[in-house]
Amino acid sequence: MIPHNPCAEAKLPSVPRKKIVPLAVEQVRTLSEEIPARYKGLVLLGAATGLRPGELFGLQLRHVDLLHATVSVEQQIQQTAKHGVYVCPPKTARSHRTVPLPRVAVDAMKAHLRDFPTDGPEGWIFTAPQGGPVVYTHFMDGSWRPACAKAGIAKGTGPHALRHHYASLLIKHGESVKTVSERLGHTNAAMTLNIYTHLWPDSEERTRAAVDKAYADQSADAQPQVDEAA
């Protein structure tokens, strides 16, 4: 009906990105104690691996290798009004990944599987109280939000905060953008920087030192050589 798009030349206003303030280690520990026991391992695993909520819900026993301390992300559980609760592939191709399990995660999984054993390799690691996989809305209303309130964590904080917490720990301890991106299953490193760039340590002093060292080296090279024989 209209041969030309009247909005083609319009310049959209930039949307300011809210800076992420990660949960502290003590907040995560408190949250894991306040949440129902069946989800304590979920909180600790999420904080120690950076898996998305749907990826945590989609874990089956076959995905967790405690002997080699790894967890494989091969699927996720999603919930929509149209399709209900269903199992599907991870968010993107890069989301298929194997994440190393630190000792805190291995210990949490051993304790969880002891108290809430699964029904064979295809059994869900984390289950709803009535059985079956965890449903996001039920988990939020019945377990997550009440636990956050008891732990003194800001209202509106979702399970994705565990992922941000994990990323902040990697950054704090010197991991590269590439490594953080791979662990989180981001599409590319640019996406990681776009979200977490403000968390990387300030490098003002290193920048000054690098330039000063370069010029100091050049000054040393330019010094005339003294003939000791003379």
- Predicted pLDDT of residue 140: 97
pLDDT grade for 219, boundaries at 50, 70 and 90: low
Say if CB 180 and CB 192 are below 8 A apart: yes
* Residue 166 pLDDT > 70: yes
Query: pLDDT tens-digit profile of 49-68?
Result: 999 999 999 999 999 999 99
The token pair that represents 10 in the structure block: 């319009």
Its sign, for the CA torsion 215, 221, 222, 227, is: positive
- Predicted pLDDT of residue 226: 58
Which H, E and C letters describe 38-70, residue by residue?
A: HHHHHHHHHHHHCCCHHHHHCCEHHHEECCCCE
Query: pLDDT tens-digit profile of 94-152?
Result: 999 999 999 999 999 999 999 999 989 999 999 999 999 999 999 999 999 999 999 99
Q: Element (H or E) spanning 97, and its range? A: strand 97-100
pTM over 0.85: no
The rounded mean pLDDT for the chain is 91
Pairwise CA distance, residues 3 & 208, whole Å: 56
Q: Element (H or E) spanning 85, and its range? A: strand 84-88
